[in-house]
Amino acid sequence: MLLVDDDPLVRTGLSMILDSTGDITVVGQAGDGDEVVPKVTAHAPDVVLMDIRMSRMDGLAATAAATALANPPKVLMLTTYDLDEYVFDALAAGASGFLLKDGSPQEIIEAVRVVADGEAMLSPRTTRKLIGHFVAARTNPRRAMARAGLSTLSEREREIVTAVARGKPNAEIAGELHLSEATVKTHITRIFAKLDAANRVQLTIFAYEAGLVTP
């Protein structure tokens, strides 16, 4: 893990929490967004825990820079409720999820593990509420683009995108659709390619914008 926050006390606390697990190692820390790309290049972390508000480069710009690298890490955003709109933009840019700063140590640890395992949806109920709120306010051109993307999907693929947007894991989707979990994973990989999506959060955003699910 790489920890990015402009408050050294926050970084110290997070480092103590994560290093105590035995299966998570903090390989580096950064105090501002402009340090992220050099430290990701140097340490090759699997996950970056990223604050949003920093003085020189904010977490949004740092996330965009990190996820544009050849072998990008997963980015987990740190936020508070009053920063929800920034979080939406970060998720749309490729962040894998978000954590509230007042979360419990166990919530932080589990969120890091989920992201490291390749899952993008964290606290699905809260994430869906957040995404739905801001997608509802998006302009018509984005909706038109999403509906154009929807036309490229098969009926089965639409069912899977809808299930992903509802926060369901692959195993549950497989059971509901009477498919193997491997088949679901294959479908999701194809959907990513068709929609040029990076992760499950972006599929959720697409599902709201295309009208497959509603806020």
What pTM was estimated for this model as a whole? 0.66
CA distances for 161 relative to 4, 22, 39, 155, angstroms = 32, 35, 34, 10
Which of 85, 100, 95 has its CA nearest to residue 134?
A: 85
User: What is d(CA 95, CA 88) in angstroms, rounded to the nearest whole number?
Assistant: 9
- Give me the half-sphere count of Cα atoms (radius 13 Å) on the Cβ side of residue 191: 27
Pair 170, 184: CB distance under 8 Å: yes
Kindly give the confidence (pLDDT) of every residue in the chain, 215 residues in length, as a single tens digit, with 9 standing for 90 and above.
Answer: 999 999 999 999 999 999 999 999 999 999 999 999 999 999 999 999 998 888 899 888 898 899 889 889 999 888 765 555 566 676 666 788 777 777 788 888 988 888 888 766 555 555 556 666 656 555 556 677 777 888 899 999 999 999 998 888 899 999 999 999 999 999 999 999 999 887 887 888 888 888 888 76
Which of 188, 214, 215 has its CA nearest to residue 203?
A: 188
User: What is d(CA 102, CA 95) in angstroms, rounded to the nearest whole number?
Assistant: 20
